[in-house]
Amino acid sequence: MAKGIFLTGTGTDIGKTYIAGLLVKTLAEAGKRPAYYKAAMSGNDRRPDGSLIPGDGAFVKTFSGIGQSLESMCPYVYEHAWSPHLAARFEGPQIDLEVVRAGWRSVCERYDYVTMEGSGGILCPLRWDAQHIQLEDVVKSLGLASILVAEAGLGTINSVVLTAEYMKAKGLPLKGIIFNHYHPGDTMEEDNLTMCQALTGLPILATVQEGDTTLRMDPEALAALYEEVKL
């Protein structure tokens, strides 16, 4: 039976896809048969034939070296670098939760450890017309626990605590925090980590520095964060 985890962040452009690549690569090198999945990707380039390239998936695939097909990584791929709900409104098709669930099940049937990455932060809207679907609806629907990715630098205390408190209020379990763009020995960043841990009660799972190609975390400890998927 496959195991899964959801990767969310305190906002957009904080390096969730990079961290996802590190998680998948670490598990692959430990022989865990990992895979990657994302409900919707926006801001993608086109191939010469006009088809869209799922850029986040392409990065994770190349970075981690896994053999998973790009087509299986994401059911909704958009060109505009907008929130998925807006990109879908302009480009189509609209995001269907059942399609997302079906794609997730398909990946979980073929791989052992599946990392699902969110779009932006946990409040990101995926569809906003007659139906209202937010990222948290996907997480709840799939029954996943999450890892929170955050910047190590200035301002992170506020964004980490607000995200953690929101997820707690919504009944979305968090396993811990991974801090990106960390500089060892930086007094402010070290204090940020201490304060975030103290104010949220969440463990710091790892710190990631610019250009890291390996995750400073034991592969077995990482694998233990993933929980059995209920298909």
Task: Please indicate whether residue 120 or residue 21 has the higher confidence score (pLDDT).
Answer: 21
Portion of the chain with pLDDT greater than 70, in percent:
100
Q: Any idea which residues carry the catalytic annotation?
A: 38
Element (H, E) at 193: helix 187-200
pLDDT at residue 231 tops 90: no
Domain span at residue 168?
A: 3-228
pLDDT at residue 64 tops 90: yes
pLDDT the model gives residue 230: 86
- Token pair, residue 178, equals 């991974």
Q: What would the pLDDT profile of 119-132 be if each residue is shown by its tens digit?
A: 999 999 999 999 99
Q: What would the pLDDT profile of 150-194 be if each residue is shown by its tens digit?
A: 999 999 999 999 999 999 999 999 999 999 999 999 999 999 999
User: Across residues 95-113, what is the average pLDDT?
Assistant: 97
Total tally of structural domains belonging to the chain: 1
- Band (pLDDT 50/70/90 cuts) for residue 107 is very high
User: CATH code at 212?
Assistant: 3.40.50.300
Q: Cβ atoms within 10 A of the Cβ of 59, count?
A: 15
pLDDT the model gives residue 59: 97
Q: What would the pLDDT profile of 78-90 be if each residue is shown by its tens digit?
A: 999 999 999 999 9
User: Across residues 15-33, what is the average pLDDT?
Assistant: 97
- Measure CA of the first residue to CA of the last residue in the chain; give whole Å: 9
> In the predicted model, what is the mean pLDDT of the chain?
97
Torsion of CA 161, 162, 165, 171, to 10 degrees: -130
* Residues facing 7 on adjacent strands: 117, 147
Q: What would the pLDDT profile of 198-226 be if each residue is shown by its tens digit?
A: 999 999 999 999 999 999 999 999 999 99
pLDDT at residue 1 tops 90: no
Question: Residue 59 carries which side chain, given as an amino acid letter?
Answer: F
How far is Cα 121 from Cα 123, in angstroms, rounded to an integer? 6
- Band (pLDDT 50/70/90 cuts) for residue 142 is very high
For residue 75, is the peptide bond before it cis, meaning its omega torsion is within 30 degrees of 0? no
